[in-house]
Amino acid sequence: MDFARRIGDLYPGHDCRFVSLPAPWYYDFIDPLLSAFTFQRKKVVLRHNLEFFRSLDALVAPERTCLRLKTIHGLRDLKLIHVRHGAGDREAGFDSRSGEFDFALLPGKKYVDRLTERGYLRPGTFAKVGWPKFEVALGLNPVRMRFFDNDNPVVVYTPHFDQSVSSWSAMGIRVLDHFLENSGLNLIFAPHIVLFRRFLRHRAALPRRFGMAKNIRIDLGSMLSADMTYMRAADIYLGDVSSQVYEFLLEPRPCIFLNAQGVAWQENPFYAHWHLGQVVGDVPRELPRALSEAFSSHDQYRQRQREAFNYTFFQDPGRSAAQVGADAVADFLSTCSKSPS
């Protein structure tokens, strides 16, 4: 809630109310046990606050659980508008639920093309709006933050929580050990927040030895992991399938990707971002070389990174992404109000 209010402060004169929807009183006793395996709180909050949702004309949501308001809870008249919380390439971001919303605010042409190819977009049900998160990140933290008391290169490692595509289970500890043994590089370990929040499900645990290293910063889920602070503070990106790589490329810089599953990725659109840097399949043998060549090899990826960034994020030269999105929502609801249905 505090973060939402800080975002609101970036838009003086806004007319927003901030309301925190509660879960049932008893759920606070159950949630600590369930959350280590699965995140049921969203479903519980939806069910517990149906009267609130029934009072709305439209709901703009950065997740897809809210579809239950129509499919299960019967709120057929509520217009559901989807806004992406990530702009990556992972297959799960292009599933059929993307086509179940009444309207979608899409980051850019990449999502329009891919969702259209899969048959999930219909004319008049979407708009390209860009990425308001950039405005928020730069507005809240104008200056790039420093986290180490030296000038060594900073690497940010962001393993995904989905173990079918993540580098964590197969490579994560060996990656951290490499930096533990090589103090000439700094590491920010900032995994997807769900990885350690559902630690039992994803087998996520950290040996104590990493907590004492002066060149390793560990953040398992603070706001700095979500507001692009670490993406802007790093010199090199190290990851797997996280959409954060595209936020990192707001400023083109070296990227290294970990192929923990031995994926044949070259022609796979769900790994399109792996064309934007070096790909490592064996940490002990290949990661040291990839890190040492990160800056010298970057020129061969720089143009690809710019093109991929522009394909992913629409930019309106005359309006902010927040304004484009707000106008798109207003236009859509205006059209709905004029429709006979």
Looking at the structure, tell me whether residues 214 and 150 fall in a common domain: yes
Looking at the structure, tell me whether residues 304 and 327 fall in a common domain: no
- Contact by Cβ (8 Å): 50, 73: yes
Q: Could you tell me if residue 273 is inside a domain?
A: yes
Give the per-residue SS3 of 144-183. CCCCCCCCCCEEEEECCCCCCCCCHHHHHHHHHHHHHCCC
What's the token pair of residue 50?
């149906």
What per-residue confidence (pLDDT) applies to 32?
A: 73
Q: Could you tell me if residue 139 is inside a domain?
A: no
Q: Could you tell me if residue 334 is inside a domain?
A: yes
Q: What angle do CA 88, 93, 94 make, to 5 degrees?
A: 120
What per-residue confidence (pLDDT) applies to 37?
A: 67
CA distance 234 to 276: 16
Looking at the structure, tell me whether residues 121 and 51 fall in a common domain: yes
What per-residue confidence (pLDDT) applies to 270?
A: 95
Looking at the structure, tell me whether residues 305 and 329 fall in a common domain: no
Looking at the structure, tell me whether residues 103 and 218 fall in a common domain: no
Q: Could you tell me if residue 140 is inside a domain?
A: no
Q: Could you tell me if residue 136 is inside a domain?
A: no
Looking at the structure, tell me whether residues 290 and 323 fall in a common domain: no
What's the token pair of residue 200?
């039992």
What per-residue confidence (pLDDT) applies to 337?
A: 78
What per-residue confidence (pLDDT) applies to 200?
A: 60
What per-residue confidence (pLDDT) applies to 29?
A: 81
Looking at the structure, tell me whether residues 273 and 233 fall in a common domain: yes
Q: Could you tell me if residue 141 is inside a domain?
A: no
CATH number at residue 304: 3.40.50.2000
What's the token pair of residue 259?
């192929």
Looking at the structure, tell me whether residues 177 and 111 fall in a common domain: no
- Contact by Cβ (8 Å): 140, 250: no
Looking at the structure, tell me whether residues 256 and 325 fall in a common domain: no
The whole domain housing 125 covers 2-131+317-338
Give start and end residues of each alpha helix (H) in the chain.
2-9, 27-34, 41-48, 50-54, 68-71, 109-117, 132-140, 173-180, 193-197, 199-202, 229-233, 244-248, 283-292, 299-312, 321-338
Q: Could you tell me if residue 184 is inside a domain?
A: yes
Burial class of residue 86 in the structure, from the number of CB atoms within 10 Å of its CB (0-12 exposed, 13-18 middle, 19+ buried): middle
Looking at the structure, tell me whether residues 163 and 294 fall in a common domain: yes
Looking at the structure, tell me whether residues 250 and 116 fall in a common domain: no
Burial class of residue 5 in the structure, from the number of CB atoms within 10 Å of its CB (0-12 exposed, 13-18 middle, 19+ buried): exposed
Going from the first residue of the chain to its last (341 residues), give the mean pLDDT of each consecutive group of 10, the final group possibly shorter. Answer: 93 93 86 72 93 97 95 96 94 87 96 94 94 95 95 96 90 96 96 78 80 94 94 98 97 98 96 98 97 98 98 96 96 84 54
Domain count, the chain: 2
Looking at the structure, tell me whether residues 168 and 217 fall in a common domain: yes
Polymer length of the chain = 341
